[in-house]
């Protein structure tokens, strides 16, 4: 006998009585002890002593395969795999029999019945492991470069952090310059200082650094169109839009001087003070002009070449075309920022109707020395100095109506206080009133709030109903001062709306391109609000700044630094190890029919040689392809048909209920029954499968052949990432099986798992395991 | 499934509950999603309210009193100033609806008797409606309009049938008076029973007070 | 949210309205005239009763009775094969919509009302859940006209150039069921769009544009003074905006403006050069209807003769 090759070591854990109180360990050992098994037991196998016992006996008895009878594999399977790996065995040579959650804890039957179940579970695993083949871990190198999408303050800071840590970074910005909204706001508030700082003074050096950094490839006028691949290896298609000016532009400005076309200036909130060929603003990076193709006379079919005529370096190129660039990166950071709420959605406040109703951003531009009034406080209607300014908070925020947003936009109370302070410092005679619901000067910002009060800013607690324009163009804000309970009509020369931050169109688009989840408010959803604030629903893709939620610059920078740190940590891993239990193709059996390309996760493709290829980065081992393959050329490593047949043979006894449970939620729900001290009869035998799509006709026939009372399949729910795609396929497979087998007496069943509802599963298991067998 | 009220006819509009806020939420008159618990007293309702602009009515304060279960609000005369224009309902950032809240308060006030004088001139309206299926203003309202409007209007009203037929329109009432269906339905819902009861209380009260009070007179 | 593409022009039950019937019958004849010209498939039932909206907002009618009466009218609409219940009055619109949503969403109300029907031997009135949809089966005539605005503009026979037109969108159309307004419920543009398509000089926004007409149901009668103050404020803002013609979509608003304008002129010592009409009357007029024999302008209190002469 060549038993020594096949010797299976079985280790039974007492779990300090958790198992040994309800399972007779002696009987179990006796029953399992056969010619090709050696059985050991220990008080706590998960302890160092227990693990040493395993390692020592693998060496001493030259064990080739190991079965551990202990708690659920969800708990310590990884630990035990490492343990056998350390002892020189391939981790696939280990099986864990769940004799705690799904045995000693789950049954109120007598000790004999529970012991009998433990025996069958361990026996099943012994049979299974005898059919196991070694599996090599799949390791994929991580591409060490990163992509940052969006060149606002968040993207700039993230890119610089990465680049300074030696990561080559592509920074893709859709506009002609980086800088984003921060470039517009002029002054910024900070928690510790009561002074307002110059935004551009902080931002401009960073922008220049981005432009010059050897580790940063800056792509302006560019948009991400498509992303494929997965964490560690993304392939990104970027469209570089024609700007009609070549990179040799010296930014001398002669072209703009001679251009006859004035266009709306986004930088100055739509004021028509820009030429069709222009630089976005003086500090723009890159310092390359660009042409507005929708307004340029030449590009709209007219005759004009004045800019071309005066350009000394021949940089103007009317024939420039869009360019497609392919990038390969390991990770991606979405920093696509916010859009200002369109205040005309609240027509009662007169925005767009009355010239002297502006947003805080527009007031910031009015204050900007590079703005439309060169920093002079003035009403847009006639450029006169306003004497009375009223600010309205929460425009489009904290508003459940269809035209508003439910959330608080977080920055606006501070923005209003900042602008109110600026006005009061420069023009102490101007009256400033802020109409608010709650002033939210959180944390250290409260200092700033107090300082604004000291400056004489007035506060009225109430959400205004309307803004009215009088015939003399002066405005009136109608509001109830809820503290004095009086409806007031506050006269104003300038009304400033503190509008909401909304997820930008770019953010919504990129979420779709990247296939990351958006929250109900339209921002990119983080994986965990406390513990994983910059991780998205997809591995290797991070988010920071206002793409994730409304926030001020301070919070944005905190987040962009974290996103860069997470990215560096991910890249420095060098490679990622993938779960080996995924689909494998035996090309010698494959007839190239292409059925398996129906993979719901697009993990399977035909390669250049016409062979089926599995993308290990995408495949999650659900097993659906195994049912599609008539040639049985595809199997899930670790879950081959032979292995499952062997386990069925090992566990099943006459009158049993055989339950196939999908390996994540369904299996965890069954564990929950045991750990919550609910019960079901011990004649229920559970087999863990990737998903129930791999259950075949022959498995069920084998079960009934061995006298099973009934067969149950429990699938992942549809709100699970795998269940979402697989649930309906699993249901189809179940219905097909029912049909093929004729299902006498309704003995094949199907159920959706739901972790909190472990009692539901317990009662199903109870009913089915006690059901009278028909005919 | 809606958790709206049950029971008697007034049980639908003013179900018996522990608190005013609960009554409001469970009343059939209010939206299932009414955000009364979420009110943040921002005053958008009051600032938008035509009644608040010209009278002492303050919907924000009314809501506050309902939230505080201050039952004196039922007897507050100002609740009768609401125009039911629903501007508060449109503007409330928390999806509360002072307009609907006040409808329930008025029903409570009618049930209690304090608000009876606001509807006692209308009892006949229901009877005419049941008969012809068309709403007609109660005589008392009509009298005021007669004083307000010129003879041109009166002449038109007197020749309404003729004017209608010139415009190619048929008679005012519904065919065969709806074969008594409307009366039967309103009897089934308990409408007449309730109106009868209110009418009785109103008569007793008027008799005992020996008074006749109308606004604007 | 409702969109313009959803507006039907088939199976329309033109829902009769008490204040049209009794005060401005020309609104009904104008509606049918305009529908005929625009090829709208509609039906007017002589069995349909009023919606009880007046009684409901006079605080006399209860929600159950109002809903039961609505269910009867729904049965008529379905029986006749005209399930798209379309009102000339904003209160009819709102009342019917709410009744339908209760009948669909509140099992207790539906069961109760159906048992009332059965007990009264009115089994043909029994309402089956979701047999009408509170969004897809309820319209206001202004929505039908909006969906045909281009065609109305093309068929327009009157010269409105230089005529300052302002809209008074009715509160019970856009403030109650605000989720189902076409466009932004904070600033409905339905009437404006139709008037603009006929070449009128539309006043986009005026002070108090969203202010109620002032009728306020019982307010007009029990708080007459306040009611007139509101209407006065609104008329003042229309006057300040230089408006010639105010377009309405609710006969109750029209009563408040047209009937009470002379009263306000007298009581507040002021004068208005403003005329009023319903959107149906306006569309009919644009499509060539006779001002007296179709639009019924003779029933108005503010004479339109001068205004109409100006159009010629």
Residues A572-586 as b/e (b if ≥16 CB within 10 A, e otherwise) read eeeebebebbbbbbe
Closest residue of chain C to A475, computed from CA coordinates: C207
Q: Tell me the average pLDDT across A348-357.
A: 94
Each residue of B123-137: pLDDT tens digit?
Answer: 888 888 988 888 888
> Which pLDDT does position A773 carry in this prediction?
62
If pLDDT is split at 50, 70 and 90, which confidence band does B3 have? very low
> Which pLDDT does position C130 carry in this prediction?
95
Nearest Cα of chain C lies from the Cα of B31 at a distance, in angstroms, of 9
- Closest to B81 (Cα-Cα) out of A463, A229, C230, A268: C230
Closest residue of chain C to A353, computed from CA coordinates: C205
> Which pLDDT does position B93 carry in this prediction?
97
If pLDDT is split at 50, 70 and 90, which confidence band does A775 have? very low
Q: Which DSSP category does B7 fall into? A: S
Residues A617-655 as b/e (b if ≥16 CB within 10 A, e otherwise) read bbbbbbbbbbbbbeeebbbbbbbbbebbbbbbebbbeee
Close Cβ partners of B217 (under 8 Å, ≥ 6 residues apart): none
Q: Does A402 touch chain C (CB under 8 A)?
A: yes
What does the mean pLDDT of chain A come to? 93
CA separation, residue A446 to residues A172, A218, A391, A436 (Å) = 37, 39, 19, 15
Query: Is the Cβ pair B167, C294 closer than 8 Å?
Result: yes
Query: Is the Cβ pair A469, C210 closer than 8 Å?
Result: no
**Contact (Cβ atoms closer than 8 angstroms) between residue A108 and residue A50:** no
Is the pLDDT at A1 greater than 70? The verdict is no
Chain B residues with beta carbon closer than 8 angstroms to that of C210:
48, 87
* Chain A neighbors (3+ CB pairs < 8 Å): B, C
CA separation, residue B4 to residues B29, B109, C91 (Å) = 10, 20, 23
**Global confidence as pTM:** 0.81
Each residue of C256-302: pLDDT tens digit?
Answer: 999 999 999 999 999 999 999 999 999 999 999 999 999 999 999 99
CA separation, residue A339 to residues A343, A400, A549 (Å) = 12, 19, 12
**Contact (Cβ atoms closer than 8 angstroms) between residue A538 and residue A348:** no
Query: Is the Cβ pair A469, C207 closer than 8 Å?
Result: yes
Query: Is the Cβ pair C187, A353 closer than 8 Å?
Result: no
Query: Is the Cβ pair B54, C63 closer than 8 Å?
Result: no
Nearest Cα of chain C lies from the Cα of A431 at a distance, in angstroms, of 24
Q: Tell me the average pLDDT across C195-200.
A: 96
Is the pLDDT at A197 greater than 90? The verdict is no
CB contacts < 8 A (A, C): 28
- Greater pLDDT, A578 or B190: B190
Q: Which of A251-260, A343-352, B177-186 has the lowest mean pLDDT?
A: B177-186
> Which pLDDT does position B10 carry in this prediction?
67
Surface-to-core class of residue C24, CB atoms within 10 Å of its CB (0-12 exposed, 13-18 middle, 19+ buried): buried
Residues B7-30 as b/e (b if ≥16 CB within 10 A, e otherwise) read eebbbbbbbeeeebbebbbbbbbb
CA separation, residue A455 to residues A188, A430, A445, B108 (Å) = 18, 11, 16, 50
Nearest Cα of chain B lies from the Cα of C112 at a distance, in angstroms, of 9
Query: Is the Cβ pair C171, B85 closer than 8 Å?
Result: yes
> Which pLDDT does position B203 carry in this prediction?
83
Q: ipTM greater than 0.85, yes or no?
A: yes
Rounded to whole angstroms, the Cα distance separating C248 from C170 reads 7
Query: Is the Cβ pair A400, B44 closer than 8 Å?
Result: no
Q: Does A572 touch chain C (CB under 8 A)?
A: no
If pLDDT is split at 50, 70 and 90, which confidence band does A3 have? very low
Nearest Cα of chain C lies from the Cα of B67 at a distance, in angstroms, of 22
Each residue of A372-420: pLDDT tens digit?
Answer: 898 999 999 999 999 999 999 999 999 999 899 999 999 999 999 999 9
Chain B residues with beta carbon closer than 8 angstroms to that of C299:
156, 163
Each residue of A230-246: pLDDT tens digit?
Answer: 889 999 999 999 999 99
Q: Which of A126-135, A700-709, B122-131 has the lowest mean pLDDT?
A: B122-131
CB contacts < 8 A (B, C): 231
How far is Cα of residue C126 from the mean position of the Cα atoms in its chain? 28
Query: Is the Cβ pair C175, B4 closer than 8 Å?
Result: no
What does the mean pLDDT of chain B come to? 88
Q: Which DSSP category does A196 fall into? A: P
> Which pLDDT does position C276 carry in this prediction?
98
Lookup: tokens for C39 = 């090829």
> Which pLDDT does position A307 carry in this prediction?
96
> Which pLDDT does position B7 carry in this prediction?
43
Rounded to whole angstroms, the Cα distance separating B19 from B17 reads 6
Residues A42-63 as b/e (b if ≥16 CB within 10 A, e otherwise) read beebbeeebbebbbebbeeeeb
Rounded to whole angstroms, the Cα distance separating A101 from A74 reads 10
The full length of chain C comes to 312
Each residue of A279-317: pLDDT tens digit?
Answer: 999 999 999 999 999 999 999 999 999 999 999 999 999
Q: Tell me the average pLDDT across C155-180.
A: 96
Each residue of A199-234: pLDDT tens digit?
Answer: 888 899 999 999 999 999 999 999 999 998 888 999
Which among A353, A402, A468 is the nearest to C204, CB-wise?
A353
Query: Is the Cβ pair A346, C207 closer than 8 Å?
Result: no
Q: Tell me the average pLDDT across A560-589.
A: 92
Closest residue of chain A to B93, computed from CA coordinates: A399
Q: Tell me the average pLDDT across A584-609.
A: 91
> Which pLDDT does position A294 carry in this prediction?
95
CA separation, residue B174 to residues B129, B135, C19, C21 (Å) = 10, 11, 15, 11
Half-sphere exposure (Cβ direction) of C122: Cα atoms closer than 13 Å: 27
Is the pLDDT at B215 greater than 50? The verdict is no
CA separation, residue A387 to residues A379, A416, A431, A448, B26 (Å) = 10, 17, 6, 23, 50
Tokens 């729904």 identify what position? C74
Query: Is the Cβ pair B35, A400 closer than 8 Å?
Result: yes
Surface-to-core class of residue A334, CB atoms within 10 Å of its CB (0-12 exposed, 13-18 middle, 19+ buried): buried
* Chain B neighbors (3+ CB pairs < 8 Å): A, C
How far is Cα of residue C58 from the mean position of the Cα atoms in its chain? 19
Query: Is the Cβ pair A466, C1 closer than 8 Å?
Result: no
């Amino acid at each position: 006998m060549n038993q020594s090759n096949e010797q299976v070591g079985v280790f039974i854990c007492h779990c300090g009585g958790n198992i040994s109180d309800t399972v007779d360990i002696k009987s179990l050992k006796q029953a399992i002890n056969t010619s090709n098994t050696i059985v050991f037991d220990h008080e706590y196998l998960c302890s160092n002593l227990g693990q040493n016992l395993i390692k020592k006996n693998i060496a001493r008895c030259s064990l080739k395969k190991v079965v551990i009878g202990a708690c659920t594999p969800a708990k310590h399977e990884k630990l035990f795999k490492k343990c056998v790996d350390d002892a020189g065995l391939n981790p696939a040579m280990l099986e864990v029999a769940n004799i705690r959650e799904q045995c000693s804890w789950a049954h109120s039957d007598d000790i004999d019945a529970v012991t009998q179940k433990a025996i069958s579970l361990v026996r099943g695993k012994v049979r299974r492991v005898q059919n196991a083949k070694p599996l090599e871990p799949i390791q994929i190198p991580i591409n060490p470069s990163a992509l940052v999408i969006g060149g606002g303050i968040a993207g700039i800071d993230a890119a610089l952090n990465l680049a300074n840590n030696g990561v080559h970074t592509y920074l893709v910005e859709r506009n002609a310059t980086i800088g984003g909204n921060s470039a517009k706001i002029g002054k910024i508030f900070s928690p510790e200082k009561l002074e307002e700082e110059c935004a551009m003074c902080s931002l401009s050096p960073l922008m220049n650094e981005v432009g010059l950094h050897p580790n940063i490839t800056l792509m302006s006028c560019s948009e991400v169109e498509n992303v494929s691949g997965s964490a560690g290896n993304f392939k990104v298609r970027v469209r570089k839009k024609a700007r009609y000016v070549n990179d040799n532009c010296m930014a001398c400005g002669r072209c703009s001087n001679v251009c006859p076309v004035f266009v709306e200036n986004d930088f100055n909130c739509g004021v028509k003070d820009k030429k069709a060929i222009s630089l976005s603003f003086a500090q723009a990076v890159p310092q390359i002009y660009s042409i507005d193709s929708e307004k340029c006379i030449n590009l709209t079919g007219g005759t004009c070449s004045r800019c071309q005529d005066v350009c000394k370096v021949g940089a103007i190129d009317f024939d420039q075309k869009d360019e497609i660039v392919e990038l390969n990166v390991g990770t991606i950071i979405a920093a696509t920022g916010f859009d200002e709420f369109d205040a005309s959605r609240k027509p009662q406040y007169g925005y767009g109707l009355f010239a002297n109703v502006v947003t805080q951003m527009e007031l910031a531009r009015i204050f900007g020395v590079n703005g439309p009034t060169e920093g002079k406080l003035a009403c847009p209607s006639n450029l006169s100095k306003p004497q009375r300014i009223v600010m309205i908070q929460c425009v489009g925020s904290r508003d459940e109506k269809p035209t508003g947003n439910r959330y608080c936009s977080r920055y606006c109370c501070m923005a209003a206080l900042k602008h109110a302070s600026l006005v009061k410092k420069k023009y102490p005679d101007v009256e400033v009133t802020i109409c608010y619901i709650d002033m939210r000067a959180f944390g250290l910002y409260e200092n700033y709030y107090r300082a604004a009060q000291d400056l004489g800013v007035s506060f009225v607690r109430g959400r205004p109903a309307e803004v009215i324009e009088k015939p003399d163009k002066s405005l009136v804000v109608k509001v109830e001062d809820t503290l004095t309970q009086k409806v007031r009509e506050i006269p104003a020369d300038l009304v400033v709306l503190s509008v909401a931050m909304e997820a930008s169109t770019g953010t919504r688009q990129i979420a779709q391109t990247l296939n990351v989840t958006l929250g109900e408010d339209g921002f990119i959803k983080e994986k965990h609000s406390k513990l994983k604030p910059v991780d998205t629903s997809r591995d290797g893709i991070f988010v920071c700044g206002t793409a994730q939620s409304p926030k001020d610059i301070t919070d944005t920078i905190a987040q962009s630094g974290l996103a860069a740190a997470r990215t560096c940590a991910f890249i420095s891993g060098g490679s990622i190890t993938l779960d080996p239990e995924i689909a494998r193709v035996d090309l010698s059996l494959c007839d190239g029919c292409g059925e398996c390309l129906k993979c719901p996760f697009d993990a399977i493709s035909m390669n250049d040689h016409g062979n089926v290829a599995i993308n290990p980065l995408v495949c999650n081992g659900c097993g659906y392809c195994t049912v599609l393959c008539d040639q049985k050329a595809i199997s899930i490593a670790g879950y081959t048909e032979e292995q499952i047949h062997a386990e069925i043979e090992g566990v099943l006894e006459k009158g049993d209920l055989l339950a196939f449970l999908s390996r994540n939620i369904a299996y965890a729900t069954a564990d929950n029954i045991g750990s919550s001290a609910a019960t079901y009869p011990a004649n229920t035998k559970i087999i863990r499968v990737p998903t129930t799509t791999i259950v075949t006709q022959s498995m069920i026939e084998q079960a009934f052949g061995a006298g099973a009372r009934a067969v149950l399949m429990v699938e992942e729910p549809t709100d699970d990432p795998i269940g979402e795609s697989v649930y309906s396929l699993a249901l189809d497979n179940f219905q097909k099986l029912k049909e093929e087998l004729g299902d006498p007496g309704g003995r094949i069943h199907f159920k959706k798992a739901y972790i909190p509802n472990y009692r539901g599963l317990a009662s199903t298991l109870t009913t089915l395991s006690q059901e009278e067998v028909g005919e | 499934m809606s958790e709206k009220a049950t029971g008697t006819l007034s049980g639908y509009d003013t179900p018996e509950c522990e608190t005013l806020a609960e009554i409001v939420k469970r009343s059939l008159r209010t939206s299932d999603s009414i955000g009364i618990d979420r009110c943040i007293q921002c005053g958008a309702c009051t600032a938008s309210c035509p009644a608040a602009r010209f009278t002492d009515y303050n919907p924000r304060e009314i809501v506050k009193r309902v939230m505080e279960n201050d039952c004196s609000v039922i007897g507050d005369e100002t609740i009768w100033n609401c125009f039911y224009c629903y501007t508060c309902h449109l503007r409330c950032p928390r999806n509360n609806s002072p307009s609907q809240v006040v409808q329930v308060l008025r029903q409570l006030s009618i049930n209690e008797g304090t608000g009876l004088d606001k509807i006692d001139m209308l009892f006949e309206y229901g009877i005419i409606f049941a008969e012809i299926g068309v709403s007609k203003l109660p005589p008392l309202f009509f009298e005021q309009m007669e004083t307000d409007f010129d003879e041109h209007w009166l002449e038109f009203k007197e020749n309404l049938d003729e004017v209608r037929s010139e415009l190619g329109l048929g008679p005012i009432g519904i065919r065969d008076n709806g074969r008594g269906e409307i009366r039967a339905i309103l009897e089934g819902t308990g409408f007449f029973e309730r109106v009868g009861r209110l009418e009785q209380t109103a008569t007793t009260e008027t008799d005992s007070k020996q008074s006749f009070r109308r606004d604007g007179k | 949210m409702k969109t313009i593409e959803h507006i039907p022009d088939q199976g329309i039950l033109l829902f009769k309205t008490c204040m049209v019937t009794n005060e401005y019958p020309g609104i009904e004849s104008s509606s049918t005239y305009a529908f005929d010209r625009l090829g709208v498939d509609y039906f007017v039932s002589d069995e349909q009763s009023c919606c009880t909206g007046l009684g409901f907002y006079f605080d006399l009618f209860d929600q159950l009775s109002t809903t039961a009466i609505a269910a009867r009218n729904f049965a008529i609409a379905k029986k006749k094969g005209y399930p798209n219940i379309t009102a000339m009055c904003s209160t009819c619109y709102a009342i019917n919509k709410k009744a339908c949503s209760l009948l669909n969403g509140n099992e207790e109300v539906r069961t109760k009302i159906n048992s009332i029907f059965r007990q009264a031997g009115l089994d043909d009135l029994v309402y089956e859940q979701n047999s009408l949809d509170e969004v897809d089966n309820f319209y206001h005539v202004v929505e039908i006209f909006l969906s045909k605005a281009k065609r109305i503009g093309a068929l327009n026979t009157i010269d409105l150039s230089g005529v300052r037109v302002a809209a008074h969108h009715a509160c019970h159309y856009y403030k109650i069921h605000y989720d189902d307004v076409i466009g932004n419920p904070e600033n409905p543009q339905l009437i404006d769009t139709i008037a603009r398509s006929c070449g009128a000089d539309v006043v986009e926004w005026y002070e108090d544009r969203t202010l109620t007409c002032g009728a306020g149901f019982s307010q007009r009668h029990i708080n007459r003074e306040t009611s007139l103050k509101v209407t006065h404020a609104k008329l003042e803002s229309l006057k300040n905006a230089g408006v010639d013609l105010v377009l309405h979509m609710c006969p109750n608003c029209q009563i408040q403006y047209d009937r009470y304008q002379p009263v306000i002129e007298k009581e507040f010592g002021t004068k208005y050069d403003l005329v009023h009409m319903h959107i149906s009357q306006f569309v009919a007029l644009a499509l060539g209807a006779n001002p007296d024999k179709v639009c019924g302008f003779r029933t108005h209190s503010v004479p339109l003769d001068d205004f109409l002469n100006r159009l010629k």
